[in-house]
Amino acid sequence: MTFEEIFNLFKEAQEKNVAKATFKSYINSYKRCKPLYNLIFRDIKAPQLQSLINSLNCSKGTKSITKGFLSVLYKYAIEMEILTTNRAEHIKLPKESKPKKINIFTGYDIKKLWDNIKIDWVEYILIMIYTGMRIGEAVNLKKENVDLVNGIIFGGNKTEKGMNRKIPIRDDIYPIIKNLYENSPTDYLIYNKNWVFKKKQDENKPIRENYFRDKFNETLQILGIEKHQTHDCRKTLATFMSKQQLNEVQITDILGHESINTTNDYYIKVDEQELRKSINKIDFLKDVV
């Protein structure tokens, strides 16, 4: 069986057994493996897998996701008794030549958003900053997963911890979420207020992620805020939580990360001036009489 044939079996087996975001990640990772499609699966050697990863023109994080996909695919092949060794486990991820730049919303940006709260989509951007939800989590958030009594949003996606997390609703965005909850004509918290619902209400579907990104970028441009990725909202929350000295357990619980290392490496922006203040707080002569 070829790599492509094994994947088709794997895809059929996984589609209803994993989260939608996980399944989508498998599909995207498979697309990066095009050079392997027509090769006999059991004849593919570890150096060929390594060569594939090395040739990808993407970030270390995306290469890591692709390696994870290959490892899961090989575990499936082992279960199917096609081979006995997980060759994907031998893949080594190349080091990134430059530290990844983390771009967050500043306090001035956030104040500008609050000052323009009546502009469409501003409140959605604030919700993403204050909850740390990913774009897929935000657009797919159903009202049934919002507990207004206790001020908690349940669930997310991607990791097991993420899917079972509880996101506290801050007091300042509680009125925004309550208003959306009470006025959304769909099952979803976030909706397009400009839709002609005679056409859309019967579909009862979430806003498309690409459409959300377009409106996100358009809104920032209107406000004169530096261009951001939607994921920068999540990184902003992580950075501010770190600055306010929330402990590691609290930070990973709110973001749904399995490890604080993920948060530190990819989400928290280091402030050089804060580091300088911290190092200056150390009293090296404390024990000197």
In 3D space, the residue among 220, 203, 200, 202 whose CA is nearest the CA of residue 212 turns out to be 220
Question: Is the torsion defined by CA of 271, 273, 275, 278 positive or negative?
Answer: negative
Tokens 């069986």 belong to: 1
**Pick from 15-19, 28-32, 222-226: least confident:** 15-19
Q: Is residue 268's pLDDT more than 80?
A: no
Question: For the chain, what is the total number of helices (H) and then of strands (E)?
Answer: 15, 3
**What pLDDT is attached to residue 156?**
58
| Gap between the Cα atoms of 217 and 227, Å rounded | 7
| Gap between the Cα atoms of 119 and 84, Å rounded | 58
Are 167 and 131 spatial neighbours (Cβ–Cβ below 8 Å)?
yes
pTM: 0.57
Altogether, the residues listed in the chain come to a count of: 289
Find how far residue 54's CA is from the centre of its chain. Answer: 24
Higher pLDDT, 173 or 270: 173
What is the percent of the chain where pLDDT is above 90?
A: 47
pLDDT (tens digit per residue) in 183-204 = 998 899 998 877 645 555 557 8
Helices 122-131 + 107-115 axis angle, to 10: 140
Task: Please give the backbone phi and psi of residue 166, each rounded to the nearest 5 degrees, phi first.
Answer: -115, 120
pLDDT (tens digit per residue) in 156-167 = 554 444 445 678
pLDDT (tens digit per residue) in 119-136 = 989 999 999 888 888 898
Higher pLDDT, 236 or 265: 236
**What pLDDT is attached to residue 283?**
45
| Gap between the Cα atoms of 4 and 100, Å rounded | 33
Q: Is residue 29's pLDDT more than 90?
A: yes
Radius of gyration of the chain (CA): 22
Enter the tokens of residue 1.
């069986």
H-helix segments, 32-186 = 46-55, 60-79, 107-115, 122-131, 135-139, 160-163, 174-183
pLDDT (tens digit per residue) in 47-103 = 999 999 999 988 888 899 999 999 999 999 999 999 999 999 999 987 765 556 678
